[in-house]
């Protein structure tokens, strides 16, 4: 059934050119369905408020074309474990009609409002992680066979979709082509992890705990970018460590081991690491103890080892897939 969307356009849940997207949210409890409707409403409201202030043609004519749910809530295998401290995010892809509308300035208010809805108002029972791409970019990614985007359009659910803006038919990416590209990403990014981690240790020895915290953040961020690029040939342009962690742990659950969540100390340490990207550089109130830095150092080293294993296994699997095709 076609329904009216927030701007009066038609909603066609599950619509996809190849007929591969799922068609509804029946696999989710009614409360979760209501929460996702609230997420869509917030995204539309904050986008309208943000881009209405500009006079440029691309700003005045800016539109949200699609909002897709992907990841564990899209597949139906989400986790909500308050005892273990692990909780799946609502993963959202927002598709707009101009590349300029993907810039952070248009979405910072939406991100803040969604975070407050989860952490303060408690109107959402799961955090929201969303990425924004233009339709042109998504279609280019599909035509190149990028696994991340192919999985979204084949497994995701359209929470909102305007009529007349179709996705391109995904290309079937040959395993050998994927392997070559994945190896390039690994060779580029994996050494950067250890370089940053060793740099942070140098700052500790030099009595610069804030520089150490920031550089450990860089090591973890690079680790997650490496894992995403190797395994999906895509990584979002983000410094948000909790967002990157969530994205990576969905494609490689073994990475959950890197950051224990079952006690306050470990959760606090990760929160300090997350905040360090900005606050360790600019906030005089940011403090971190030697004990916290030591724990973070150990966990970043674990993350580095896990990322290496996961990436090497994925590259090897691509090589085996190619070999089986050529026999």
CATH code of the domain covering residue 284: 1.20.120.330
* Shared-domain flag, residues 19 and 125: yes
Q: Residue 111 in contact with residue 124, Cβ under 8 Å?
A: no
The dihedral of CA 248, 249, 252, 255: what is its sign?
A: positive
Q: Does residue 124 sit in the same domain as residue 192?
A: no
pLDDT, average across residues 20-28 = 76
Do residue 155 and residue 192 come from a single domain?
A: no
Q: Could you tell me the sign of the dihedral formed by the alpha carbons of 208, 214, 220, 226, in that order?
A: negative
Q: Does residue 169 form part of some domain? A: no
- Three-point CA angle 201, 206, 212, nearest 5°: 45
| Number of domains the chain contains | 2
Residue at which a domain ends, from 108, 136, 161: 161
pLDDT band at 2; cut points 50, 70, 90? very low
Tell me what pLDDT residue 17 has.
46
Range of the structural domain that residue 286 is part of: 175-326
Question: Does residue 132 lie within any of the structural domains?
Answer: yes
Give the pLDDT of residue 104: 86
- Let me know whether 66 and 138 are in one domain: yes
Distance CA 117, CA 80 (A): 17
Top pLDDT among 205 and 22 is at: 205
Q: Are 185 and 308 members of one domain? A: yes
Is the domain of 144 the same as that of 193?
no
d(CA 40, CA 57): 25
- Give the mean pLDDT of the chain: 89
Claim to verify: residue 250 and residue 225 sit in the same structural domain: yes
How many angstroms separate the CA atoms of 109 and 5, rounded?
21
* 16 has a pLDDT exceeding 50: no
pLDDT at 56: 64
Q: Within this chain, do residues 309 and 189 fall inside the same structural domain, yes or no? A: yes
Instruction: Report pLDDT digits (tens) over 98-153.
Output: 999 999 888 999 999 999 999 999 999 999 999 999 999 999 999 999 999 999 99
pLDDT of residue 105: 83
Residue 170 lies in a domain: no
User: Do residues 94 and 179 share a domain?
Assistant: no
Residues 206, 143, single domain; the answer is no
One domain, residues 130 and 259: no
Q: Note whether residue 168 is domain-resident.
A: no
CA torsion sign for 274, 278, 280, 286 is negative
User: Is 263 inside any structural domain?
Assistant: yes
Q: Which residue's structure tokens are 């410094």? A: 239
Who wins on pLDDT, 92 or 105? 92
Last residue of a domain, one of 161, 194, 220: 161
> Does residue 167 form part of some domain?
no
Over residues 142-166, the mean pLDDT reads 93
Confidence at 83, pLDDT banded by 50, 70, 90: low
Boundary-marking domain end, from 127, 161, 195: 161
Q: Are residues 198 and 221 in the same domain?
A: yes
């Amino acid at each position: 059934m076609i329904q009216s969307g927030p701007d009066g356009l038609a909603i066609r849940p599950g619509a996809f050119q190849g007929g591969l997207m799922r068609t509804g949210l029946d696999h989710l409890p009614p409360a979760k369905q209501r929460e996702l409707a609230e997420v869509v409403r917030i995204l539309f409201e904050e986008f309208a408020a943000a881009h209405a202030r500009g006079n440029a043609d691309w700003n005045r004519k800016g539109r949200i074309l699609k909002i897709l749910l992907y990841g564990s809530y899209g597949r139906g295998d989400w986790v909500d474990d308050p005892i273990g401290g692990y909780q799946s995010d609502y993963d959202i892809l927002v598709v707009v009609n101009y590349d300029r509308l993907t810039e952070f300035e248009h979405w910072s208010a939406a991100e803040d409002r969604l975070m407050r809805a989860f952490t303060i108002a408690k109107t959402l029972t799961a955090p929201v992680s969303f990425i924004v791409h233009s339709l042109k970019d998504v279609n280019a990614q599909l035509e190149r066979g990028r696994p991340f985007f192919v999985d979204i359009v084949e497994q995701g659910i359209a929470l909102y979709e305007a009529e007349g803006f179709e996705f391109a038919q995904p290309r079937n990416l040959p395993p050998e082509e994927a392997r070559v590209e994945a190896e390039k990403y690994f060779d580029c990014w994996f050494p950067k992890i250890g370089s940053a981690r060793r740099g942070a240790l140098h700052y500790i020895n030099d009595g610069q705990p804030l520089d150490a915290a920031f550089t450990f953040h860089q090591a973890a961020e690079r680790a997650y970018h490496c894992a995403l690029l190797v395994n999906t040939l895509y990584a979002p342009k983000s410094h948000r460590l909790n967002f990157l962690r969530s994205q990576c742990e969905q494609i490689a659950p073994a990475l959950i081991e890197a950051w224990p969540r079952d006690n306050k100390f470990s959760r606090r340490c990760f929160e300090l690491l997350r905040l360090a990207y900005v606050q360790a550089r600019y906030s005089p109130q940011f403090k971190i103890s030697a004990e916290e830095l030591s724990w973070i150092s150990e966990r970043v080293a674990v993350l580095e080892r896990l990322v290496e294993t996961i990436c090497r296994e994925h590259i090897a699997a691509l090589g085996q897939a190619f070999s089986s095709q050529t026999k």
